[in-house]
Amino acid sequence: MNRINSKAYLFIFILLLSVPHILSAQTAFPKISVGVEESTNPSDFVLTMQIVFLFTILSLAPSILIMMTSFTRLIIVFHFLRNALATQTVPSNQILIGLALFITFFIMKPVFNEINENALQPYIQEEITQREALKKAEVPIKAFMLRQTRGKDIELFVGLRGEGRPASMNDLPLSVVIPSFIISELKTAFQIGFLLYLPMLLIDIIVASILLSMGMMMLPPIMISMPFKILLFVLVDGWYLIVESLVKGFA
């Protein structure tokens, strides 16, 4: 009986060893390769350059979204608000970024629709060239940024550029409009953050004064003031007021 069992085990072992050879002989595994070949057709080269350009745009998409839309102001204000409430990581970064992202889509929807109608769709239907599509797409996004940009910031980068003042604001290149828009957004966001801090700072001062007068110097004032900050923020419906003010600020 033991001899039969040993033969069965030997047969199974030999069968397992032969399985990879059988599979390798009968199964064709896929192979993926990327290469560069010589082409004599100019259209192939144009297609290659378009693909490279597309990958470049996709890699720069996060920067474009952050620097050329309302996202910068929104996310900075939300972080100031969280620090003013002293709630540490509540709401979390993922929630704040997601909220800022969806509000950005809401604010920028008219701009995106105009780009889609005047630039993207005509280009897809081959009615205009790629250069013309980029020129048409530049108009609404530049108009949006100029509405939110201070003249002082534009003058700064026009002067630093050293090429003279253009005839109109629409003639300004994006290399001037984008940094001007960014520093304007940063100043506006910090101004809003300062106004958010004032009532919260007042609550901290009142609570700290009461604790000091009661001789409770070892008790951190922030532990007592934080519930009052949250209560005040909830009573005035803070998220509604802040989001409403931010969206109307871009109107």
Condensed to tens digits (0 to 9), the pLDDT of residues 143-182 reads 999 999 998 998 888 888 877 777 777 778 888 899 999 9
User: Does the residue 141 lie in any domain?
Assistant: yes
DSSP 102-147: HHHHHHHHHHHHHHIIIIIHHHHTTSS-HHHHHHHHHHHHHHHHHH
Kindly indicate the confidence band of residue 216, based on its pLDDT and cuts at 50, 70 and 90: confident
105, pLDDT greater than 60 = yes
Highest mean pLDDT among 49-53, 60-64, 96-100: 96-100
pLDDT (0 to 100) of residue 94: 92
SS3 14: helix
Kindly indicate the confidence band of residue 214, based on its pLDDT and cuts at 50, 70 and 90: confident
Average pLDDT of the residues of the chain: 80
Helix 130-147 × helix 93-115 angle, to 10° = 120
- Of the chain, the percentage scoring pLDDT greater than 70 comes to 79
pTM score over 0.95: no
C-alpha closest to that of 180 among 158, 195, 197: 158
User: Does the residue 236 lie in any domain?
Assistant: no
Region 96-105: what's the mean pLDDT? 92
User: Does the residue 79 lie in any domain?
Assistant: yes
pLDDT (0 to 100) of residue 63: 77
15, pLDDT greater than 70 = no
User: Does the residue 47 lie in any domain?
Assistant: no
User: Does the residue 148 lie in any domain?
Assistant: yes
**209/251: higher pLDDT:** 209
User: Does the residue 145 lie in any domain?
Assistant: yes
2, pLDDT greater than 50 = no
Is it true that the peptide bond before 91 is cis, omega within 30 degrees of 0?
yes
Range scoring the smallest mean pLDDT among 21-35, 167-181, 184-198: 21-35
User: Does the residue 68 lie in any domain?
Assistant: yes
Domain that holds residue 128: 59-196
Helix 42-67 × helix 174-213 angle, to 10° = 30
- How many other C-beta atoms can be found within 10 angstroms of the C-beta atom of residue 102? 11
Encode pLDDT of 111-127 as tens digits: 989 988 888 888 888 78
pLDDT (0 to 100) of residue 5: 54
88, pLDDT greater than 70 = yes
User: Does the residue 138 lie in any domain?
Assistant: yes
Q: Report how many domains make up the chain.
A: 1
Phi and psi for 166 in degrees, rounded to 5?
Answer: -70, 170
